[in-house]
Structure 1
Amino acid sequence: MHPLVNHLRESLLAGDVETTRASNHGNAAAFAEGREGYLFGLPPLKAWTHAEVLAVMAERVGIDPDPERSTGTDVIDPEKTARALERMRDRLTLAARRQERVIVATGHPAGIIEVHMAVAAALKAAGCELLQPAAGVPFERPGRYDGRELSLAVRYIGGVAVAAEKAIALWHTHSPDGMRAMLAELEATGAALPDLVVADHGFAGAAAAAGLDVVSFADSNDPALFVGEAEGRVSVTVPIDDNVQPHHYWPVSAFLLEGVLGAMV
């Protein structure tokens, strides 16, 4: 058994997670229907049926592949999470050794941002160039929450891009517009694009759509990045509950950074 499995189970990062079967089943259907909010800025290369999306999620996440079951509980296989984290760790180690140009971004400023901030700090300490383009640049389209329209803009917390409502609050977002603004600014100024993007949600999807090397995190009800990985457009997608209490991610960060810290010796 992988050494992280017990922690993943006990913290509900994987195993019997709180994400429901209804959410997994319904979001897979919405993705298959091509509904924009579920694509994360990464439309698939071909049409995927609902059953095919669930099959990909069963293979890469561990959920039930049965398209007829839409209620009850579901799972993230912690062994699949651990193996994906190993692949992400290898890519981060390579970035540190090469001292690559990197963007780190998250749509979850109250959960898995804990990992993103640790990764950003470690890669910077290893000599990587941590890019922070388009700071303060508004998203092309406003976000919405409980029927309220939000004016979102790119903001950096510990070197990690997030969605901010002016200078008031950070927001959960699936939008690809933030990453699109970031890449557009790099191109407009003639700056080189990043060698690696570490992200989730639409930040990861838009980067993958632009042909960049992306390693990402995604919950069991977010199929876009797993399908992107299946299509060869996302290098790694780690199946994990991406919005539990931030301190539960500390062992995940420590595991990911083993190789980065070794590259600094």
Structure 2
Amino acid sequence: MLSTGALRAHLLAARLAGSVATSREESLRSYRLFAARDPRVLIGLDPEWSWGQRDLIGLMADKCGVSADPRCVSGHDVIDPDRTLVALDAFAERLAAVAQRSGTVLLGTGHPHRLLGFYADVADALSAAGCTVLTPAHGHRVDITTRFGLRTYNLHYVRGVALVREPDAKRSGGEPGAHTHSPLPVRTALAAAAESGGPLPELVIGDHGWVCGAGQLGFESIGLADTDDPALFVGEAEGAVSVVVPVDDAVRSDYYRPLTRYVLNRACLSQ
């Protein structure tokens, strides 16, 4: 069993928290774009409140532990590991609640290169506990506008976790999927589930547009987010998102394994 102290030490050593790779410049740019309601940063959320850049700095200082000083404009951003631990406990509570009622869940990631293993282990544990892990719209086309223009992807599931791949991507070897912040994949999955008359998820687990897109549509959603992803924390502040765990979302994939063990143990889902 991984203790809270041991996980805190791991968060700092792996730079999942503490001084993280995400720069202050990147985060401030995201806050400016969010304040301007740029859809690239809203990632599916339609905020109810008016959020200026100073408001966002204050929110992110409270939720993540970044500097609350707007005059701090450079250097590495900071995530308070104690805030990460509190959020991981809340994340585990939501997993435990859906597992206790053998509920239906949908998992998806826009960070398959880093976070696929984390979500896949959660999906395996929930399935073993009697939950139904949904996989709607497998193979469906998703057109996403990127900075490189319109890109066509297909929705795929790997060990119960949704991601998008280019249509000609190899099915074995290579990268597991594409990095995206778009809410279109979760909208595609939810629309397909509704149209089929099948069950809808009681809980959506993921990151980026998966969390914001689902939360905006009224589905309970939880996930992970970095300091340059203010939309998830705004969603949490406004009540559209249930739990957001502040953590660097782009470190080595194996560095997230202790987090998986911790939340599954806390949720009494360890296998």
2:24–2:77: 8 Å Cα contact kept in structure 1? yes
Q: Write the distance in 2 (CA, Å) between the matches of 1:202 and 1:172.
A: 11
Partner of 2:194: 187
* Alignment CA distance shift 1:178-1:22 (3 Å): same
Q: Which runs of 5+ in 1 are unaligned?
A: none
1:67 correspondence with 2:70: yes
2:125–2:270: 8 Å Cα contact kept in structure 1? no
AA paired with 1:38? V
Q: Write the distance in 2 (CA, Å) between the matches of 1:51 and 1:228.
A: 17
Residue among 212, 227, 238 paired with 2:234: 227
* Alignment CA distance shift 1:98-1:66 (3 Å): same
| TM-score, length-scaled by structure 1 | 0.94
Where do 1:143-182 residues align within 5 Å? 143-144=145-146, 147=148, 149-168=150-169, 170-182=177-189
Partner of 2:203: 196
AA paired with 1:144? T
AA paired with 1:221? D
Q: CA RMSD in A?
A: 1.6
* Alignment CA distance shift 1:159-1:138 (3 Å): same
1:108–1:172: 8 Å Cα contact kept in structure 2? yes
Aligned positions, number: 262
Q: Write the distance in 2 (CA, Å) between the matches of 1:228 and 1:142.
A: 22
Partner of 1:142: 144
Partner of 1:215: 222
Q: CA deviation at 1:143?
A: 4.2
1:126–1:264: 8 Å Cα contact kept in structure 2? no
Q: CA deviation at 1:2?
A: 3.7
AA paired with 1:187? A
Where do 1:29-68 residues align within 5 Å? 29-68=32-71
* Alignment CA distance shift 1:263-1:218 (3 Å): closer
2:17–2:80: 8 Å Cα contact kept in structure 1? yes
TM-superposition CA deviations, 1:183-209 (whole Å, max 9, x none): 111111122311101110001111001
AA paired with 2:160? G
2:106–2:135: 8 Å Cα contact kept in structure 1? yes
| TM-score, length-scaled by structure 2 | 0.92
Q: Which runs of 5+ in 2 are unaligned?
A: 170-174
Partner of 1:95: 98
* Alignment CA distance shift 1:264-1:5 (3 Å): closer
Overall identity of the aligned pairs, in %: 37
Partner of 2:249: 242
AA paired with 1:239? P
Residue among 12, 23, 27 paired with 1:20: 23
Q: Write the distance in 2 (CA, Å) between the matches of 1:130 and 1:210.
A: 19
1:106 correspondence with 2:109: yes
AA paired with 2:222? V
Q: Matched residue of 1:102: which SS? A: strand
Q: Matched residue of 1:103: which SS? A: strand
1:27–1:222: 8 Å Cα contact kept in structure 2? yes
Q: CA deviation at 1:144?
A: 3.0
Q: CA deviation at 1:49?
A: 0.7
1:92–1:259: 8 Å Cα contact kept in structure 2? no
Q: Write the distance in 2 (CA, Å) between the matches of 1:66 and 1:264.
A: 41
Q: Write the distance in 1 (CA, Å) between the matches of 2:35 and 2:83.
A: 23
Q: CA deviation at 1:264?
A: 8.1
1:115–1:253: 8 Å Cα contact kept in structure 2? yes
Q: Write the distance in 2 (CA, Å) between the matches of 1:218 and 1:185.
A: 26
